[in-house]
Structure 1
Amino acid sequence: MLTVIMASRNGAGWLKETLDAFAALHPPEGGWKLVVVDNGSTDRTSAVVRGFQQRLPLTALHQARPGKNAALNLALEEAEGDLVVFTDDDVLPDPDWLLQLRQAAADFPDTGVFGGRIDPCWPRPPARWITDLVPLGLVYSLTVEREDGPCDPQWIWGPNMMVRSALLEGGHRFDEEVGPDGTMAYRMGSETTFTKELAAQGARCRHVARARVRHMIRPFQMKRSWILGRAFRAGRGYWEPEPERVAILGVPRHILREVGEAAGRWAVARLRGNARERFRAAWDLNFWRGVLHEAWINRARPKRRADASRPGARDRTALSAGPD
């Protein structure tokens, strides 16, 4: 048996489409169960989940405290079987999704963490500036046709990931200080934190391209303001303690320099009237604003998250957002 876990906060508008796709899945050998956690929703999420009780091997839970990772950790208490699959409430899996993940686990018994393919499901064709300028992996958790094979843990993302249950028996759980928390300014990188810690303990990671889901992208997620908000949240996730750096008011000087330089580039692009340059500069500015924000609120706690295995420490394109 394997267990599939997802959390949903105010997802009633798209959750039914996701659960309809889950109801069409081919069951893997040994069977499966689905655990859905309503993470303090104020819409009809719980009612949507209850409507699938007869169509899916479903366990419904409720976590009142906002925070996707708190919801996932609660769901892990209900996990059964040798494999745990994590996903989101806005994905459309191929019918053979679980079959492919189960086969990958059998084919590579020395691998403990698996990531599947994540393709976009656009509500309308994206504008050229999105496809040309936006880092689609970071913003929409897309795998961009990555090939099968071993991979870095930072390339395994929340909409489509699987872990052997044996790796969780020691109590390994998601960091509840990271990831979606009911606000628009959370720190990204929650699944990456989770997978990098497993890799640091010796777990091997692999990308399984044939295990595919499509990630639903809502119209508001194609707006410039939302995309730049992702840059800010990614910057928060990118920050790490740097006690060796020269600091000004507790903030490493190089961060202040990056913010200033990005602001200068944005101002120049605005004067030139170059929309593409202005977006690139605005992305960098919002990213470094996020780094600055995190450095500032942690200036009195320089040893916090000092573990060298922290995700994305030097690769800002690898952090998940995951939408998370």
Structure 2
Amino acid sequence: MDRVAVLVPTLRRPEGLAAALASLMAQEQVGGRLSEIVVVDNDRRPSSRSVVDGFKDASVPVVYVHEPRSGVASARNAGLAATQAPLIAFLDDDEIASPRWLASLLESQASTGADVVFGPIQGRAPGAPEDLRPYLETFFGREGPSADGLIDHPYGCGNSLMVRATALPGDTPFEVRWDHSGGEDDALFAALEARGGRFGWSAGAWVDEVAPAHRANLGYALSRAFAYGQSPSQAAWGRKDLLAVAKWMAVGAAQLVAWGLVALPLVALHRPERARILDRAVRGLGKVLWMPGLEPRFYGTAELQRLDRAAA
């Protein structure tokens, strides 16, 4: 049976990385198929080396890679270059895998024949303001079907299993032009879908995603919601489908006006519901303001700057 490697990109999250690695060492019913865990340190300096060294005697080899070029796509490409495994699983450094996470992904891929399989995420925001915590934990989470099977759309790269030969073509399948804004997985999956690729869901492949303090706030979540809103308009522009661009911009304008009006009194009264309604309004705004150059930056240099501010 095909071997699998788990890629864990990381950026200055020593506690999160240690928890992620510990959860990978505790995986059950994998049957010896886990060949290695590849940790890609995307800091300017190798700041995560000591965490990896703490697992040098673990039952599964942990390969350390330092990729100083800031950016999520560069980090993932560097991780792929460090392994020859035909199956690649992705776990983020703020995610903790449940004991049968990898076994569930492998079983679902085998049963569906999908090129990429995704699993559910339970969002956690322990440092968030009490009134915003339910929204933020839903925002950082991911829900899907209650049973395994093929699905008609992809999710994000975190908590996924990919067949390397079909889903990750070439030496650098993640486009580095998305290094700082994100969206490298959207581009990858759009190209896979155009080639006839298939997506699957693994209902039992649970992970917890623990949002760090500098992300567990309304401003960060709304900037991500704006970027998510940009996606359909940007995808239509990429296809040169101007009618679809116009349609999505019109949809976005309607969403912005409708939800914006609902949000005004909730914001004025500081009601907890304001977060969910503002989320919908800014997703509409993203569909309108989708143009190149307007993408928010969440990774690479931008994330390093946020971490520097948080540490100051």
Q: What TM-score does the superposition give when structure 2 sets the normalisation length?
A: 0.75
Does 1:9 find its partner at 2:11?
Answer: yes
Query: Whose helix fraction is larger, Structure 1's or Structure 2's?
Result: 2
Superposition pairs of residues 192-211 of structure 1, within 5 angstroms: 192-211=186-205
Q: Is the 8 A contact 2:230 2:290 kept in 1?
A: yes
Letter in 2 for 1:286: V
C-alpha separation between the residues in 2 aligned to 1:278 and 1:233?
19
Deviations 1:204-257 (A, max 9, x none): 22111122222223344432222222223323444322634899xxxx687667
Superposition pairs of residues 92-103 of structure 1, within 5 angstroms: 92-103=96-107
Quote the RMSD (CA, aligned, Å). Answer: 3.4
Q: Which residue of structure 2 lines up, in the alignment, with residue 71 of structure 1?
A: 75
C-alpha separation between the residues in 2 aligned to 1:141 and 1:119?
5
Q: Is the 8 A contact 1:178 1:190 kept in 2?
A: yes
Unaligned runs of 5+ in 2: 295-312
The share of aligned pairs that are identical, in percent, is 22
SS in 1 for 2:291: helix
Q: Is the 8 A contact 1:2 1:80 kept in 2?
A: no
Superposition pairs of residues 154-169 of structure 1, within 5 angstroms: 154=154, 156-168=155-167
**Change over 3 Å in CA distance of 1:141–1:281 after alignment to 2:** closer
Q: Is the 8 A contact 2:167 2:192 kept in 1?
A: no
* 1:39 CA displacement: 0.9
Q: Is the 8 A contact 1:12 1:43 kept in 2?
A: no
C-alpha separation between the residues in 2 aligned to 1:31 and 1:114?
17
* 1:161 CA displacement: 0.6
Letter in 2 for 1:287: R
Does 1:104 find its partner at 2:108?
Answer: yes
Superposition pairs of residues 249-264 of structure 1, within 5 angstroms: none
Q: Which moved more, 1:201-210 or 1:278-287?
A: 278-287
SS in 2 for 1:199: helix
Q: Is the 8 A contact 1:111 1:206 kept in 2?
A: yes
Letter in 1 for 2:19: E
Q: Is the 8 A contact 1:269 1:275 kept in 2?
A: yes
Letter in 2 for 1:176: V
**Change over 3 Å in CA distance of 1:220–1:146 after alignment to 2:** farther
Q: Which residue of structure 1 lines up, in the alignment, with residue 147 of structure 2?
A: 147
Q: Which residue of structure 2 lines up, in the alignment, with residue 52 of structure 1?
A: 55
Q: Which residue of structure 2 lines up, in the alignment, with residue 23 of structure 1?
A: 25
* Alignment: residue pair count: 283
C-alpha separation between the residues in 2 aligned to 1:41 and 1:52?
22
Deviations 1:96-154 (A, max 9, x none): 3222333333333x3222112322344379846543x5692xx3142266432211232
